[in-house]
Structure formats: structure tokens, C-alpha cells
Structure 1
Amino acid sequence: MSRQYFGTDGIRGCTNKDPMTADVAMRVGQAAGAYFKRGLHRHRVLIGKDTRLSGYMVESALMAGFTSVGMDVVLVGPLPTPGVALLTRSMRADLGVMISASHNPFSDNGIKLFGPNGYKLSEEEEKAIEEAIDQPPLLAAPADIGRARRIDDAQGRYIHAVKSSFPESLRLDKLRLVLDCANGAAYQVAPTVLWELGAEVITLGVAPNGLNINDHCGSTDPSALQKKVLETRADLGIALDGDADRVIIVDEKGEIVDGDQIMALIATSAQKRNLLKGNTTVATVMSNLGLERYLSKLGIQLLRTQVGDRHVVEAMRAGGYTVGGEQSGHIILSYHTTTGDGLVAALQVLADLVQSDKKASELLHVFDPFPQLLKNVRYSSGQPLEDESVCEAISEAEESLKGKGRLLIRKSGTEPLIRVMAEAEDPDLVHQIVDHICETVRRAA
């Protein structure tokens, strides 16, 4: 069955265009609500969102859908995606929903679903819900229609859980930190966590207006953070994305530290503390070869998955592994969370920074990465990767990289983009290959 609604991370698209319309959101609520109504208890769904203007519309539509099939709704307002996952489990909800398009611009929105265990739904569960979206809904009897209420302490519960992931014996008193919340879901909770742990916190991206989420800020554009770190002589900069499930670090020299370096540091620390189950770290095919070689020297296996934090989590659960993530900054620590949590990952870095008595630039340059280049080619229609000229260019590139590096080409699961990535010890070869394939794809598209 072709997937009309669900992509690599829930349902996502431009607001008021299919599938991100109020009508579809209501039908998703009806389909998901009916699917998770199991047993005789009163059923409950928890709904959170980021700061996009369209969140009001999608929230109301979902609420109508869920209540119409007899499910009670708990609204928590703006809260990071990992907070929704956490509260879904701790409040014994049957289902959790996060309304967010993560790092995408404000014009997009999305619907992420979590099961009662706090994990994102499996592909089989998404398929079952997808099949029901276009079917007549199983509406409740008038007396069984669900109720809705808002709770005021959701942020406090999440703040407490995040702080619990930080060693009780440590404080951040001596650190000056710059925090960029991307005008997104963590704009209130993240500064509070760092301040309560004792840090001096300088904030960016904490004035959401519905339209400025991820707008020249956050983990996908840390240039303002880099500038502010240097300007204020901060010890470290932290950039979250719109729903705060990913993090990028900036050291005291203004240099960007990506998810691979963060994973390397956390995996090293976890191994020392006997928290690295199976001596394995899970990452995607996008992670740098330098990470793989570094971990190998420590006796740590790097298990690669498809792109997408859900695939990382699935591999971690299947193998019982505890540390995984993506180069983009999704870091999953199963001894703390069920999904990527940018704030929890940042606290693990800060704990090591406090204990090491090193500068961030020393601590976070864990390995020397292979030269790697990623470029995106936007297309409007068709299947450019099936074009004969593109296939030929890819074949030639793979031959020239044989034994020297890697080539990865894939369609984005959330945007009409072809992603072209190559890495090798020779940076000139990397640029030559990526530029040639991108130009060939553009012509074919």
C-alpha cells in the first residue's frame, strides 16, 4: 500500500494543503482514536504542540476528531516533543500527539503520534491508522463523546524529568551559556532548566510569534548563536530546533559541533559508566566515517540504520542498546528518554564539561571527521533518481569512491528534495562528485 499520509516522521506538509488540513487532522484523530480504544477504561489522548500559528487550527481539529470517537483529550500547550512522549507514558494516556513540523519553516506543520509506552508508532500501526483515515469514522454515542481539558503543570513535570537526567552532585554555576530555542516549543522550559541548575543563561529565539519558528535561528541555522557566543565570551552555545528533539552545540571559539561529535562524547562517557549496552552505538548512514573509526578503536560497534530517528530507536529497542542518534542532532539515550531530546543531550555534554575542567573546544573535538559534503536538490515532480543520466553519474561516482569513501543519495521523507552526500579523505574528490551528481539531478528534474 502506498502511504498517502504518513512519511518518515508522522504526517507533515504545508498548512492548509493536503495532507495538512483541518479536515485531515480531524480524520486522523478519529482514526487514531478508534485504533487505540482498547479495553473498557475511559480512554485518553494527550496533545502537545510547538509555537506555529497553525497549531491552534490543527489542535482544534484533532480534538474534535478524538472526542467524536469517545476519547478524552488532555491539552498541554507548547511543549517539546520528548515532553509529550514522557507525559504520554507517565499519565497513562492511550496515545500521545505532537503537533509540529520540527525544523521546517512556520508554514509547514505535522502530526507525530506516540503509543502509550512513549515511543513513536511502528510502521504497522501507522499503516492501520492510514487505512482508517478515509473510511467512515466509528463515532461514539452522544453520551460517550469525549471531554477535553487543559493541564497547567505539564511544563513543570517535563522540567523536573530533564533535570533528573543531570547528576545530582553537579551544578552549572561557573558556566555562561548561550541558548537558542528557535522560537519553538522549548522557549520557556529550556532556559528554566539551565537557570535552575545554576548557569548564567543568555537566550536567543525565545520570543515566538507564530511565524518566526526556525527563522534564521535554532539548530538548522546556528549563525546567530555562533556570533553571540563569541560576543559574550560564553563557555558554550546550545541550539535546539522547533520541537526541541535535536541539538547542535557551539564551542567557546564559535565552532559548530554536530550530532556525530556529541554522540562520540556521550558514547565514550556511557562506556566508562557501564551504561553502553552491548558496547554498541546506533547511528544512521549519514554519520561520518570518522565516528565509526573512533568508536572502533574503543571497541564500540557502530550500527547504521536508515535516515530517521525512528529507525535509530527501533534498532536500539531491538538490540537493547542505550545510545544512538543522528548527525543532525537527534540524540537518543534510552536510559533517560524514549525519543530524541535536545535538552537532555545538552545536559550530558554539560556534565562532562563541568567534570573535565576543559574548554568546550577541547572536550568536543572527539575525532577528526572525514571531509563530507551534503547538498540538496529541490524538484517539483517526477522521479529524477530514475533518470538514465542520473543513474550513470551515480555509478561512476561509486566506482571512483570504491575503497576510499562513501556515497549516499536519497529522497527526503519530509520535503521534495534529493539529498546527495559523499565523504572521502580527498576533499576535492568529494566536491567534484557531489557537484556533478547535483547538476545531473537538476537537469533531469
Structure 2
Amino acid sequence: LLTDLPDEAYLRYLIKGIELSGLRVVLDCANGAACALAPEIFRRAGAHVDAINTHSDGYTINVEAGSEYVRRDRSALLKALQAHGADLGIAFDGDADRVICVTPDGMLIDGDHMLGILAVDLKARQRLAGDMVVATEMSNSGLADYLAAHEIGLSRTKVGDRYVMERLREHDLTLGGEQAGHIIVRDDEHGSGDGIYVGLLLAALAAQRKRNGEGSLSQLAGAIPRYPQVIASAHLKARVDLSAVAGLAEAVEAVHALFEHKGRVNLRFSGTEPNLLRVMLEGTAANTLQQVIESALRLCHLVAAASGTDQPRIDMVDCATGAPIQL
């Protein structure tokens, strides 16, 4: 009986001030940490809850389940949403520190969308410290433009939630996170990334808007522009000095010109995987995803040639969906 006490305290802690009455949600618990508590937490907050992927045996965590899987393929969660007539689908990852949402019309609400939605809501309630959001260099520039239109700044860090947290603490800020759904809300009572808490915040907004007859979360997320963005990973025989690769500087400048000098180009070798080149390209609203894909491939092949790699294996991901791109 005593072992239940910490869970109960955590439950009460999370639902303080959260009102989900009138909202029906489908929770994808990723067969992981969210299984034991998330459904009960959302029920206690007033939601009608249907849960999937709740087989927490330790062997099926994130297997065709959870936030990363939903980013690549939202069809199973969307099918459950529509079958239950639910208002919102919420997917956690295995340890429940990340969260992704899906709306009944099939829209994926990722970390960038959540940062935009939560920032505007927090600012309206005078709870966004410094009128500033922290995100990594991976966040889409559409988020920056959306925040700027609401007079909110965006401070970028290196990739990794630890860097986001460091920036938040350094400047005593409230909100930060990553595109993949690791969102940190720092206030008087919360100080770490918690997917269940962030899911509750998004659900509370959805419930409030439903009760008031206002637009859905998909309408809020749809107001945040998303420019075509990819990450290419090229597996090479050796690392090379990128500044010494013949023609690379000119090729990068040509990409910038294609993007009207408003897009972003980032080339770097992985800090953890040997000889792995990562290329992040982001175009503008005037560019197509295919243009961005082709530009990323050109840069990868230039560096590959300089490294002596004739036919490099290149993997590419669409940052908007998390889905792999077939090359």
C-alpha cells in the first residue's frame, strides 16, 4: 500500500489546475512508463480516456507505438481517434518525457507546434518569462516567424534537451524544447521535461476551446508556418575538414541563393558516430521539399567524394513528419 503513495502524490501534483471535462482523448502509452499512470491522470482531470499500447512488459516499449513511431506513421493513432470519436490523440515515448499529438483531421502536432501554442497561451496569461522561448537549431524557422508575429523571441541552442535546460536556467526562462516533442515548462512547481504534464496542458487548451466553441488545436497549429526541412545522414569512409572540401563553399552559397538567403544550411560531422556527416537544410515557403532534398544530396556527395567514398549510404528524414524519405 505504501508503494502507491508516491504515484498518488505525483498524480495530484500534475492535475492541479487542469480541467479536461467534456474532452475525449486517446492515449498511446508506448508500452512504457506512461502505462501505469497516464490514463488515470487524464481521467482524474475529467477526460474520457481510451488508451492503446498499454502492454508494459519491458519488451515492447516503443515497438510500433509511442511518439517517435507516430511521428513516422500516425495512421494507427488516427484510426483509434476516429473509432472512438475522440477530440485528441496524445502519444508519449517510452519513458514519457516526450509527447506528440494528433487531431481527428489527421494533423500531427509536434514539438515546434507545441512551443508556439504554449508560448502564446502563457504570454496571454503573463506567465512567459522574458517573452522568450528556447529551442534547438533543429526547430523550424516557421516557429521563429510565428513567435515574432506575437512579439516573442526565440533563442536557439545546440541539439539536446540538456542545452535547452541550461539556457532556460541561465536566463530564468519558462518554456523550451525540441521538435521531437521534449518540452520543458519551468515555473514555480515544474522544472523538468515531463510528457504527461505537457500532454495535460495541451489537452486542457483543447478542452477549454471545445467548451467555448472556439477552434481546435489543429487550427492553432495550422497557423504556425512550416518550411521544408530535411536532415541527411551520409555514412562516409573518413572524416574530412569541411572547410577544405573543393567546391563546398560555392555549393553552400548556391543553396543559400536558391533559398533566397532566408533558409538555413548546417553541415557537421556527428560527435558520437564515426565518419557520419549530418546535413540539415531548411528552405523557405517558396521552395519545394524536392528542392531541399536535391540540395542536401548534392552537398552530401561533394563531401563524400572528398572523403574517398564513391557510393555513400545516405539516409534522409523529413523534419516536418519525422518520416524517412525514400531516395
Judged with a 3 Å threshold, the aligned counterparts in structure 2 of structure 1 residues 270 and 396 are, in CA distance, closer, same or farther, namely same
Contact 2:21 2:207 in 1 (8 A): no
Partner in structure 2 of residue 424 of structure 1: 283
Contact 1:185 1:243 in 2 (8 A): yes
Instruction: Give the CA deviation at 1:319.
Output: 0.6
Alignment equivalent of 1:327, drawn from 155, 179, 184: 179
Which residues of 2 match residues 296-307 of structure 1 at below 5 A? 296-307=148-159
Larger RCO of the pair (alpha carbons < 8 Å, separation 6+): 2
Partner in structure 2 of residue 408 of structure 1: 266
- Tell me how far apart the structure 2 counterparts of residues 221 and 398 of structure 1 sit (CA, whole Å): 35
AA in 2 matched with 1:314: E
- Are 2:192 and 1:339 equivalent residues in the alignment? yes
Judged with a 3 Å threshold, the aligned counterparts in structure 2 of structure 1 residues 391 and 316 are, in CA distance, closer, same or farther, namely farther
AA in 2 matched with 1:200: H
Contact 1:384 1:390 in 2 (8 A): no
Instruction: Give the CA deviation at 1:261.
Output: 0.7
Contiguous gaps of at least 5 residues in structure 2:
314-327
AA in 2 matched with 1:263: L
Instruction: Give the CA deviation at 1:155.
Output: 2.1
Alignment equivalent of 2:113, drawn from 261, 282, 302: 261
Partner in structure 1 of residue 321 of structure 2: none
Contact 1:219 1:240 in 2 (8 A): yes
Instruction: Give the CA deviation at 1:173.
Output: 2.7
Partner in structure 2 of residue 109 of structure 1: none
Contact 1:285 1:307 in 2 (8 A): yes
Instruction: Give the CA deviation at 1:194.
Output: 0.6
Instruction: Give the CA deviation at 1:400.
Output: 1.8
Instruction: Give the CA deviation at 1:388.
Output: 8.3
AA in 2 matched with 1:206: T
Judged with a 3 Å threshold, the aligned counterparts in structure 2 of structure 1 residues 228 and 431 are, in CA distance, closer, same or farther, namely same
AA in 1 matched with 2:228: P
AA in 2 matched with 1:356: R
Judged with a 3 Å threshold, the aligned counterparts in structure 2 of structure 1 residues 191 and 175 are, in CA distance, closer, same or farther, namely same
Partner in structure 2 of residue 396 of structure 1: 251
- Tell me how far apart the structure 2 counterparts of residues 208 and 394 of structure 1 sit (CA, whole Å): 50
- Tell me how far apart the structure 2 counterparts of residues 226 and 438 of structure 1 sit (CA, whole Å): 35
Contact 1:420 1:438 in 2 (8 A): yes
- Tell me how far apart the structure 2 counterparts of residues 344 and 316 of structure 1 sit (CA, whole Å): 18
SS state at 1:186 partner = helix
Q: Deviations over 1:323-343 (max 9, x none)?
A: 111111111110142221111
- Tell me how far apart the structure 2 counterparts of residues 361 and 316 of structure 1 sit (CA, whole Å): 28
Judged with a 3 Å threshold, the aligned counterparts in structure 2 of structure 1 residues 406 and 264 are, in CA distance, closer, same or farther, namely same
Percent identity among equivalent residues? 37
- Are 2:216 and 1:352 equivalent residues in the alignment? no
Alignment equivalent of 2:125, drawn from 269, 273, 276: 273
Q: Deviations over 1:355-411 (max 9, x none)?
A: 22322322332311111123444x4x8644647897754761354225130023345
Partner in structure 2 of residue 215 of structure 1: 63
Contiguous gaps of at least 5 residues in structure 1:
1-149
Larger Rg: 1 or 2? 1
Contact 1:287 1:326 in 2 (8 A): yes
Q: Relative to structure 2, which stretch is displaced further, 260-269 or 355-364?
A: 355-364
- Are 2:90 and 1:238 equivalent residues in the alignment? yes
Partner in structure 2 of residue 315 of structure 1: 167
How many corresponding residue pairs?
290
Partner in structure 2 of residue 373 of structure 1: 230
Judged with a 3 Å threshold, the aligned counterparts in structure 2 of structure 1 residues 232 and 292 are, in CA distance, closer, same or farther, namely same
Partner in structure 2 of residue 81 of structure 1: none
Partner in structure 2 of residue 146 of structure 1: none
- Tell me how far apart the structure 2 counterparts of residues 394 and 247 of structure 1 sit (CA, whole Å): 38
AA in 1 matched with 2:147: L
- Are 2:141 and 1:289 equivalent residues in the alignment? yes
Instruction: Give the CA deviation at 1:418.
Output: 4.4
- Are 2:295 and 1:433 equivalent residues in the alignment? yes
Q: Deviations over 1:271-325 (max 9, x none)?
A: 0111111111111100111110111111111000000111001001111110111
AA in 2 matched with 1:218: G
Contact 1:283 1:304 in 2 (8 A): yes
Judged with a 3 Å threshold, the aligned counterparts in structure 2 of structure 1 residues 278 and 232 are, in CA distance, closer, same or farther, namely same
- Tell me how far apart the structure 2 counterparts of residues 188 and 364 of structure 1 sit (CA, whole Å): 29
Contact 1:187 1:206 in 2 (8 A): yes
Contact 1:182 1:218 in 2 (8 A): yes
Judged with a 3 Å threshold, the aligned counterparts in structure 2 of structure 1 residues 309 and 392 are, in CA distance, closer, same or farther, namely farther
Judged with a 3 Å threshold, the aligned counterparts in structure 2 of structure 1 residues 387 and 206 are, in CA distance, closer, same or farther, namely same
SS state at 1:303 partner = strand
- Tell me how far apart the structure 1 counterparts of residues 244 and 301 of structure 2 sit (CA, whole Å): 11
- Tell me how far apart the structure 2 counterparts of residues 209 and 231 of structure 1 sit (CA, whole Å): 26
Q: Deviations over 1:59-87 (max 9, x none)?
A: xxxxxxxxxxxxxxxxxxxxxxxxxxxxx
- Tell me how far apart the structure 2 counterparts of residues 304 and 185 of structure 1 sit (CA, whole Å): 30
TM-score (norm: length of structure 2): 0.80
Judged with a 3 Å threshold, the aligned counterparts in structure 2 of structure 1 residues 337 and 232 are, in CA distance, closer, same or farther, namely same
